[in-house]
Amino acid sequence: MSTFPKALLGRTGENPWAFSLLAAIAAILPPFVLLALLRNSIPSAETEPYNPIIDGITALIIAPLFESAILVPMMVIAEKIVQGRVGPSLLCASVWAALHGIIVPLQAVVAFWAFLIFSLTLLHWRERLPHSYYWVLVLTHFFANLPSTIILAFDIV
């Protein structure tokens, strides 16, 4: 087991809800700190106007379900290409970063770190909950998307 899941399990036991919440914090905190430090030196991306209902449903329900459903077979393929836990996780995170970076280049930074955490979460819970690890992954993704969805919906920043 890699160090990341061990560190979280020390705080959450085998509770997938608590694990998902802490994993989501680990997924979003470092990129947001980095982006906050660099915000004045990064040009803003041209984006469509934000629709809180449509974009909220997309970020909190559709994206976690869809992207997690793609990540599961992607991880199986990555494990055939690269051995261990970290290598396949880095490979999957790189692919997701590239895909998210096509839309908004700055999202590649956030997506890389988030999908590294999601990939490690998948590998950890796949062993412990073979019939329901997908839902732990979806929950982690949901929790990771929740802060930015709230910030955008209420125009906080």
Q: What is the mean pLDDT of residues 97-108?
A: 88
Residue 86 confidence class, pLDDT cut points 50, 70, 90:
very high
Say what percent of the chain tops pLDDT 70: 84
pLDDT beyond 70 at 56: yes
pLDDT beyond 90 at 92: yes
Across all residues in the chain, what is the average pLDDT? 86
Residue 3 confidence class, pLDDT cut points 50, 70, 90:
low
Burial class (CB in 10 A: 0-12, 13-18, 19+), 153: middle
Q: What is the mean pLDDT of residues 119-129?
A: 92
- pLDDT at position 2 is 54
Cα–Cα distance for residue pair 103/4, rounded to 1 Å: 29
The domain locations on the chain are: 3-153
Phi, psi values for residue 84, rounded to 5°: 90, -160
- Say which residues have a Cβ less than 8 Å from residue 91's Cβ, sequence separation at least 6: 78, 81, 82
Residue 34 confidence class, pLDDT cut points 50, 70, 90:
confident
Q: 93: number of CA atoms within 13 Å, CB side?
A: 21
- How much is the pTM? 0.84
- Between 110 and 156, whose confidence is greater? 110
Residue 57 confidence class, pLDDT cut points 50, 70, 90:
very high
- pLDDT at position 46 is 58
